[in-house]
């Protein structure tokens, strides 16, 4: 495969490094994918690859050479780079010679398809990229409809979001709202019943809650929980009982329990209907 070779000072390499370091505006919603696994995901999901950088000397698997041809044919711009350049731009130790800039999908809040027994997760002020990625992966696993982000503290383009979600940040619809009030209006117009995941004294154990056909679950910041604007709406609170000495669960673990419980209830409603 003949590709033009570029170095560290090439604008495309600088663009990729800026996305990785979050050092420049990212209006095109680009993120960096590294390695054979990541590029297999991009091929499986037919993801739009903007820039593909290929270092054949660093490919450890024969499959990487095959996939590089497929990715290069799909990418808008494809280049060859040296092992030295790869070492400077890659976060992983062994990225199989493959690094790409990929565009995240943009979702229209008015056009998100919702099931009759719709299930939505709201992530309020989540800080850790790995947690956000795990939330997206869980949403896909339990066939929930979408993720709403409010008070965003981490970027969807962070490489750990892609890795933590196993690529589901390309498949799960994500809507971002600057203020919780905008998210609540979106949910109310679509007749969702909203539950706040808290550890407060007014929270009901999740097994005692009758999740209705359209349920939205809100989880909060890893340190401070759900922000005050959500609490001021008077939504019902739900909790996962803690039977040991710890006083809280990891946010992604809590969300997983609640999402699967809510999905189990909506599946019962589907059968009863």
Tens digits of residue pLDDT in 189-244: 999 999 999 988 889 999 999 899 899 999 999 999 999 999 998 899 999 988 88
**Range(s) within the chain of domains with CATH label 3.40.1280.10:** 119-272
Judge contact between 112 and 146, C-beta under 8 A: yes
Distance CA 111, CA 19 (A): 28
pTM, entire model: 0.90
The predicted model gives 129-150 an average pLDDT of: 96
**Range(s) within the chain of domains with CATH label 3.30.1330.30:** 11-103
Q: Which fold has domain 119-272?
A: Alpha/beta knot (3.40.1280)
Q: Which fold has domain 11-103?
A: 60s Ribosomal Protein L30; Chain: A; (3.30.1330)
Residue 158: phi and psi, rounded to 5, are: -65, 135
């Amino acid at each position: 495969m003949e590709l033009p070779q570029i170095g560290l000072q090439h604008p495309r390499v600088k663009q990729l490094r800026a996305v990785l370091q979050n050092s420049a505006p990212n209006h095109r919603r680009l993120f960096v994918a590294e390695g054979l696994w990541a590029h297999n995901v991009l091929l499986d999901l037919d993801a739009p690859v903007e820039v593909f950088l290929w270092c054949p000397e660093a490919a450890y698997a024969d499959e990487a050479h095959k996939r590089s041809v497929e990715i290069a044919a799909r990418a808008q711009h494809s280049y060859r780079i040296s092992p030295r350049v790869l070492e400077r731009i890659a976060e992983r130790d062994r990225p199989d010679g493959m690094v790409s800039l990929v565009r995240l999908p943009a979702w229209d809040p008015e056009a998100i398809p919702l099931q009759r027994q719709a299930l939505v997760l709201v992530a309020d002020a989540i800080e850790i990229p790995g947690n956000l990625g795990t939330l997206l992966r869980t949403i896909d696993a339990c066939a929930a409809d979408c993720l709403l982000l409010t008070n965003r503290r981490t970027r969807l383009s962070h490489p750990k979001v892609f890795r933590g979600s196993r690529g589901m940040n390309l498949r799960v619809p994500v809507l971002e709202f600057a203020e919780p009030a905008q998210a609540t209006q979106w949910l109310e117009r679509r007749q969702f019943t909203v539950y706040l995941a808290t550890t407060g004294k007014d929270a009901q154990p999740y097994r005692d809650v009758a999740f209705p056909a359209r349920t939205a679950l809100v989880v909060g910041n890893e340190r401070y929980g759900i922000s005050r604007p959500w609490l001021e709406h008077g939504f019902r609170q739900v909790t996962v009982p803690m039977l040991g000495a710890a006083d809280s669960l990891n946010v992604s673990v809590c969300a997983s329990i609640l999402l699967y419980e809510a999905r189990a209830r909506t599946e019962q409603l589907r059968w009863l209907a």
